[in-house]
Amino acid sequence: MKKKGRFVLEASLLVPGFCLLFVCLVFFTLYVHDYTVCFHMMLQTGIKGIYPVSRTDNQTEEEVKKDLTQKLSGYLLWLQEEEITVRADPVSLTVSLSGKGKAFPAEQINIQQKLYRIKPCEIIRRSGWLKDRGEESDGDTL
């Protein structure tokens, strides 16, 4: 009789432990899934948005942000409050994403990706970016 009670006691300790481990594993999987999806979508949208030369920096920022928001809306499982910031200049495009999840609000996803144009010389010449930078630095020289 004493041995039968021991098995019930062990099961009462092990079953909740396994359930807790399983729940943590599920939430970790959701976190990793959303991090990977966000990173991939940021790269895909950034590369797509950086190369049309005819747009201004503000147009590029707006289009990349709109496209990224649209793509992420159908794929995220855990992330709820995402904040996307995009900064463009003639040489590079910086995309940042941060957000919190539903289950563990203390855990956040923070990703920042900087994409460079392969041959930015033509774009820099057309934009007058160096000319503007040179005028700003003339007052600073001694």
Note the pLDDT tens digit of each residue in 81-138. Answer: 889 999 998 788 999 999 887 766 667 889 999 998 876 676 666 666 666 655 555 5
Token pair recorded at residue 99: 């957000």
* Matching CATH number, 2-134, of 3.10.450, 2.40.50, 3.10.310, 3.40.50: 3.10.450
CA-closest candidate to residue 61, choices 76, 75, 77, 45: 45
Predicted TM-score of the model (pTM): 0.72
Cα–Cα distances (Å) from 39 to 16, 81, 110, 112, in that order, read 35, 16, 10, 9
Token pair recorded at residue 93: 């495009």
Q: Where are the domains of the chain?
A: 2-134
